Each structure stands twice: as structure tokens, then as C-alpha cells.
Structure 1
Amino acid sequence: MAEVVLITGASSGIGKAIAEHLAKNKYRVYGTSRNPKAEESNGVRFLPLDVTRPESITNAVNELLIREKRIDFLINNAGKGISGPLEEIPESEIKSIFETNYFGPINLIKAVLPIMREQRAGMIINVTSIAGFMGLPFRSAYSATKGALGLTTEALRMELKEFNVKLTNVAPGDFATNIAAGRYHAPSNAQSPYAKSYGKSLDMMDAHVADGQSPDVMADAVLAIMKTEQPKVNYKVGVFMQKFSVFLKGVLPGKFYERLLLNHYKL
């Protein structure tokens, strides 16, 4: 019997690439988006789900269980970006990014855990970010959401060990997706004291995404993780320097590492 996968944010970008790749590899894949354009596309069955609405999560998970009676994999992929000087980002936008990038995945985990515990089997893959391993200038709120999800995964792995439910983080670097178009960014205001430094950083962020790797690289990585009997705590997927930056964060003195980031962002 084909294993059942639930993946959020499957209508575009990394989520779409992962969902379609898994469907081609004989998984029964249920993708979600807030407003699916079709019930099925390229082998992926779609369910409406808004990760910021707990009742929407409950409805989607219940519908999947009615159809399949089990969930073998949850891939928490849905997320959005945010950038800007922290001083100039409205509190409402910071709360919104946490609702999507942190509380949404947590509520999905809570929704699937009863069935996975009953099955005494299951795997949860949380898509975090290499940005979650470090505080990046003008991406403080984004780094915070992904860092929080990563640390929660580390704790939850130990809580769920006795139930044979496995958890892991997979942290992508820059990939060529439409995340920049959907990202909230504080308006670039010529009167802002951050105008020059933020403007340069925003241009660099967008260039990194535009020049990023194909989402198919992430799809291959996620499939490999799903086939792993005992997944690691963290996986990093990206070009060498992005992954190496995480290693350097762990071995260099804090001020020296900060200087490297300041030089990289020309601040």
C-alpha cells in the first residue's frame, strides 16, 4: 500500500516540486493551499487549508483521514518571507509571520500526532531555513520564526521517541521560487535612517533568490530523508557556502562571525 503524505504549501515553489516528485515515486500525496485551483494536478490531490486557521487545519486532516485512514508523513512546508528594519516592521506583520511560519506548523503537528501515535509510526519534516541558524540583518523576524521551529523540532523529537514518530528539520538555502514576490517587506522609505543599508540588503536578497538552485534539489533531498530509517536532527540543502556558514557559526567567536556577515552584506 502506498504511503500517505500531507504537504502544506504545495501549489508553488519548493512545495510543488516536492509534492509532484513524491507522487511520481508512488506516494499518495495530498497537497494543500488556501484556494486549490483543482482537486488533482500532476498526481497530487489537493485539499483547502489555511495554516493560520486552526479549524481549517482540523477540517483538512479529518478529510484526509476519511479518505485514507492514515497519515505516514507530514511535511510542513507552507511559509512566507518578511524583511525590513525591525524598528519599521508593524507588530501586526511580525505576529502574522509567526502565525504562518511557526504556529501553523505546530498546529498541524498537533493535528496529526494522535493518528501517528496510534499507528506507532510516522515522520514529520519541518521545512525551516538556513536563515534560522543565524540572525540576518533585515530578516530578524524571518530568522526568528525558522529558528523557533527548528528548536521546537529538536525538543519534540525526544518527546515522541517512545511512540516511534520521527521528526527532522530540512533547512533550504536560496532557491529559485516566487517567495520574494510574496514576501512582506517594510516600505523602502528615502527618509528612513535605514534607507541606504536596507536598500542594498533587499537587492541582495532578491538577487540570491533569483540566482538560487532549482526546487528540484529540495525535492530529491526530501525523498532521500523520507527513505532514511533514522533521520538526523537537521539537514541543510543549498550551495556549499550557505551550508558552510552554519558550520562557521558554530566554531567562530560571535564577534568574528558577525564581522563576516557585516562584510557580506556590505554594512
Structure 2
Amino acid sequence: MSQVVLITGASSGIGKSIAEFLVTKGFTVYGTSRNPKQQEVNGVHFLALDVTKPETIATAMEQVLEKEARVDVLINNAGKGITGPLEEIPEEELRSIFETNYFGPLRVIKAVLPTMRKQGSGLIINVTSIAGYMGLPYRSAYSATKGALGLTTEALRMELKEFNIKLTNVAPGDFATNIAAGRYHAPLKQDSPYAANYGKSLALMDEHVDHGEDPQKMGEAVFAIINEKEPAVHYKVGAYMQKISVFLKGVLPSKVYERLLLNHYKL
């Protein structure tokens, strides 16, 4: 019997690539979007779901269970970006990014846990980010949300071990997607004390996305994780230098590592 996969944020970018790749491998895939335009695209069954609205999560879960009676894999992929000097980001935008990137995945996890516990099995994959392993200039809030989700996963997988429900994080680096278009950008004000450095950093971030990896690599990575008998706690997917940066943070003195980041962002 085909495994049933539920993936949030599947209408574009990394989520779309993962969903469509898993369809080619024989999975029954339900993708979610806040406003799906079609019920099925390239073999992916679409449902309306907004991770900031609990009622839409409950409805989507009911629809999946009505048709399939189970959920074998949950992939928490829905999220958004945010950039800007922390001092100049409105508090409502800071709260909004946590609602989507942190509390959103937790809501979906809570919705699927009773079903997985009843099944006696399940796998939850949280899509975090390489940026979640380090505080990046002008991406402080984004790094914070992804870091928080990664640490929560570490704790929760121990809480759920007795129920045979497995959790893991997969952290992508920069991929060639439309994420930059959907980010909240604090306005680049010419009279801001941060104008010069924020402008340079913003241009560099966009360049990284434009020249990022093929998002199909994330589909391949997730497929491999699903087939692991005992998934690891963390996986990193992306360019070599981005993955090695996480290793370097663990072995270099903190000020040396900070200097590497400052040099990279030309600050």
C-alpha cells in the first residue's frame, strides 16, 4: 500500500519539488496551499491549509483521513522569509514570522500526532534551514525561527520515541526558488544608519538564491530520509560551503567564526 504523505507549502519552491518527486516514487501525496488553484497538479492532491489558522489545519486533516484513513509522513515545509535590521523590523512582522515558521509547524504536528499514535508509526520531517544554525546579519528573525524549530524537534523526537513516531530536521541551504519574492523586506531607507550594509547584504542574499542549487535535490534527500530505518536528528542539503559552515561553527572559536561571517557579508 502506498504511503500517505502530507506536505505543507507544496504549491511552489522546495515544497513543490519534494511533493512532485515523491509522486514519481509511488507515494500518495497531499500538498497544501493557502489558496490552491487546482485539486490536483502533477499527481499531487491539493488541500487548502494556512498554518496560522488552526481551523484550516483541522479541516485538511479530516479530508486526508476521510480518503486515506492514515498519514504516514508529515513534511512541515510551509514558511516565509524576512530580512532587515532588527531595529527597523516592525514587531507585528516579527510576530508574524514566528506564527508561520515556528508555531505553524507545531500546530500541524499536534493535529497529526493522534493519528500517528493510533497507527503506531509515523515520520515527521521539519524543513528548517542552514540559517537556523547561526545568527546571520539582517536575517536575525529568520535564523531565530528556524533555530527554534530545530531545537524543538530535538526535544520532541525524544518525547515521541515510545510511540514509534520519528522526527527529523532537514536544513536546506540556498536553492533556486521564488522565496526571495515572498520575503518580508524591511524597507531599504537611504537615511537609515544601516543603509549601506543592509543594501550590500540584501543584494548578496538575492544573488545566493538566484544561483542556488536545484530544488529537486531536496526531493531526493527527503526520499532518502523516508527510507531510513532510523533517521538521524539533523540533515543538511545544499552547497558544500554552506554545509561546512555548520561544522566550522562547532570547531572554531566564536570570534573567529564571526569574523568569517563578517568577511562573507562584507561588513
Please classify the TM superposition score into its range, dividing by the shorter chain length: over 0.9
1:63 CA drift (Å): 1.1
SS at 2:124 equivalent: strand
Deviation at 1:62, TM superposition (A): 1.2
State the Cα deviation string for residues 144-194 of structure 1 (Å, max 9, x = none). Answer: 000000000000010000000000000000000000000001000000000
| Structure 2 residue aligned with 1:132 | 132
Counterparts of 1:221 and 1:136 in 2: how far apart (Å)?
A: 25
Q: Displacement of 1:66 after TM fit?
A: 0.8
CA distance in 2, matches of 1:215, 1:266: 27
The SS at the match of 2:160 is helix
The aligned counterpart of 2:258 is 258
Q: Partners in 2 of 1:186 and 1:169 — Cα distance?
A: 28
Runs of 4+ in structure 1 over 4 Å off: none
What amino acid is aligned across from residue 100 of structure 2 in structure 1?
Answer: T
Q: How does 1:2-151 map to 2 (within 5 A)?
A: 2-151=2-151
Amino acid at match of 1:57: I
Aligned to 1:230: 230
Count residues in correspondence.
Answer: 267
Secondary structure of the corresponding residue to residue 11 of structure 1: coil
Q: Distance in 1 between matches of 2:32 and 2:103?
A: 17
Quote the Cα distance in structure 1 between the aligned partners of 2:95 and 2:219: 29
Aligned residue for 1:208, secondary structure, equals: helix
The 5 Å alignment of 1:135-174 reads 135-174=135-174
Partner of 1:218: 218
The alignment's C-alpha RMSD in Å is 0.4
SS at match of 1:45: strand
TM-score by length of 1: 1.00
Cα deviation digits, residues 12-69 of structure 1 (max 9, x gap): 0000000001011110000000011110011100000011101111111111111110
